[in-house]
Amino acid sequence: MKSSQPIGIFDSGIGGLTVARAVKKILPNESIIYFGDTAHLPYGDKSTAAIQAYSVRIAEMLLQHKCKVILIACNSASSAAYDLVTEYVGKRAKVFDVINPTIDFIRENHNGDKLGLIGTKQTVSSGVYARKISDLNQDIEFVSLATPLLVPMIEEGIYEDEISRNIINKYLNDPVLSNINALILGCTHYPIIHQEIKNYFYSSNKEVEIIDSADTVARALKSYLEYNQLSSKGSDAVDKFFVSDFTESFEQTTKTFFGTEVHLEQIPIWDELT
C-alpha cells in the first residue's frame, strides 16, 4: 500500500457523507472515493445476506480504484458485513467499520456505565454491539432501540423543527433508555440531529454523553495512517463521489450530509450481476 492511494468510503446512500465529512475534516490531504449504493437503499431494512452481497461487490469496486483503506460508513453494513468484507479484501487494503472504533472508545471510557444505542432495525437486531460490548468483559450495561423513523425524517429535510423534536423525544423517552450515561449514534444520519438529541437530554436534566461513530472512526483512521506511515503527503487531494443510481434529489441532499453540495456520478456496478 502507498500513502498516495485514496481512501474508499461506502454507504447504502448519501448519509455516509457524514462519515466522509468527519474524515475530510481531520485528514484534509487524503483523497476520498465515496460510493453510495442508492440503487439498493435503505440497507436498514434489508436481510444480512443481501447486505453482505452488496458490500463485497462494492469493496471490489473500491479495490479496483486502488484504495488503501475501505471504510464501511454504514452502520447496517458494518453490522452485517464487516467480517466478510475484511476476509474478502485480505491484505489488499485495510478495512474499517464504524462499530469497532466505537467499541475501542467505550473500552477506554465507559467501564461501569449504562450505554444506549440507537440505530436501524438491522443494526439493532444484529446484536453486534451487544456482543462486542459483552466481549469487553467490563461492567457495562447495554440497551438498544431501533429508531427507523429517523432516517426518512432527516432525508426529507425534517430536522431542527417541532416535528423532529417530537419524534426524537418520543424515541428517547422510551423506558429502555432510562438512566443511560452515554448514547451511541449508530447510524450515518444521526450526526445531523446530534444537537437536538443533546438538547433533549439537557432539557430533561440528564447528563448523557453522545458518542458519534463518524468522529470515532475518523480518529481511528487518522491514528492508523500515521502509525503505518500511510498518511498522504501531498496537498492535491481529489475527491470523487459515485452512486449506483443518480437522481437530482440525491445530489441536492448531499449538502445536508457533507456540508456543501457535491457532484454525484453514477457508475453501473450492478449491471454484471443482473
Residue from 5, 18, 38, 76 touching ligand DGL (CB under 6 A): that is: 76
| Cβ contact 55:35 at 8 Å | no
| Cβ contact 57:269 at 8 Å | yes
| Cβ contact 194:185 at 8 Å | yes
Q: Which residue has the cell 438491522?
A: 122
CB of 106 to ligand DGL, least distance (A): 18
Could you say which residues in the range 6-35 bind ligand DGL, by CB under 6 A?
11-13, 15-16
x-or-dash string of contact with ligand DGL, 113-152, rule CB under 6 A: -------x--x---------------------------x-
Q: Which is nearer to ligand DGL, 184 or 230 (CB)?
A: 184
Verify whether residue 67 is a known catalytic residue: no
Q: How far is CA 34 from CA 57, 104, 165, 185, 219, in A?
A: 14, 25, 31, 21, 18
CB of 11 to ligand DGL, least distance (A): 5
Q: Which is nearer to ligand DGL, 132 or 225 (CB)?
A: 132
Residue from 8, 44, 116, 191 touching ligand DGL (CB under 6 A): that is: 44
Q: Which is nearer to ligand DGL, 5 or 144 (CB)?
A: 144
Residue 62 C-alpha cell reads as 473500491
| Cβ contact 37:13 at 8 Å | yes
CB of 121 to ligand DGL, least distance (A): 9
CB of 231 to ligand DGL, least distance (A): 26
Kind and range of the H or E run holding 235: none
Q: Contact region for ligand DGL (CB under 6 A) — 42-50, 60-68, 128-136, 259-267?
A: 42-50
Verify whether residue 187 is a known catalytic residue: yes
| Cβ contact 96:59 at 8 Å | no
Distance CA 225, CA 230 (A): 5
Handedness of CA 166, 169, 173, 177 (dihedral sign): positive
Q: Contact region for ligand DGL (CB under 6 A) — 23-31, 57-65, 110-118, 184-192?
A: 184-192
- Residue 211 found at the interface with ligand DGL (CB under 6 A): no
Locate the DSSP E strands across 107-252. Answer: 114-119, 141-146, 182-186, 209-212, 240-243
Residue among 19, 32, 74, 211 flagged as catalytic: 74
Residue from 36, 42, 116, 191 touching ligand DGL (CB under 6 A): that is: 42
Q: How far is CA 105 from CA 122, 175, 211, in A?
A: 22, 25, 9
CB of 186 to ligand DGL, least distance (A): 7
Residue from 23, 187, 214, 264 touching ligand DGL (CB under 6 A): that is: 187
**Residues in contact with 164: Cβ distance below 8 Å, sequence separation at least 6, in sequence order:** 153, 154, 158, 193, 196
Residue among 17, 85, 187, 220 flagged as catalytic: 187
Catalytically active residues, by annotation: 74, 187
